[in-house]
């Protein structure tokens, strides 16, 4: 679970860095689609960290659930 969490954090950081670079490029271009690209990029700047935070909350809950199940199993064996 720890390696999955670490990989998700690294992937999220890389995605956010890419989004920030794309936001900068889109804000400097003079294309007809640049405004919609910029809007989508700004949306992703907010949405990606929210999704990563939700992932971390879910993994924490699953870890706690597994820990509780292990403790109950050990009590049942005694």
pTM for this one?
0.59
| Token duo for residue 60 | 């924490």
**Residues with Cβ within 8 Å of residue 8, at least 6 apart in sequence:** 52, 55, 56
What is the pLDDT, as a whole number, of residue 5?
Answer: 75
Domains: count for the chain: 1
User: What is the C-alpha to C-alpha distance for residues 22 and 15, in angstroms, rounded to an integer?
Assistant: 10
pLDDT at 78 over 60: no
Q: Tens digits of per-residue pLDDT, 20-57?
A: 888 788 778 877 887 788 788 888 888 888 988 898 88
Domain that holds residue 29: 2-77
Average pLDDT, the chain: 80
């Amino acid at each position: 679970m720890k390696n999955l969490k670490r990989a998700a954090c690294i992937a999220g950081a890389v995605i956010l860095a890419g989004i920030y670079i794309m936001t900068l490029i889109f804000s400097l271009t003079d294309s007809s689609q640049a405004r919609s690209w910029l809007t989508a990029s700004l949306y992703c700047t907010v949405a990606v960290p929210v999704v990563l935070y939700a992932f971390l909350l879910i993994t924490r809950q699953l870890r706690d659930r597994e820990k509780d199940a292990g403790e109950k199993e050990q009590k049942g064996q005694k």
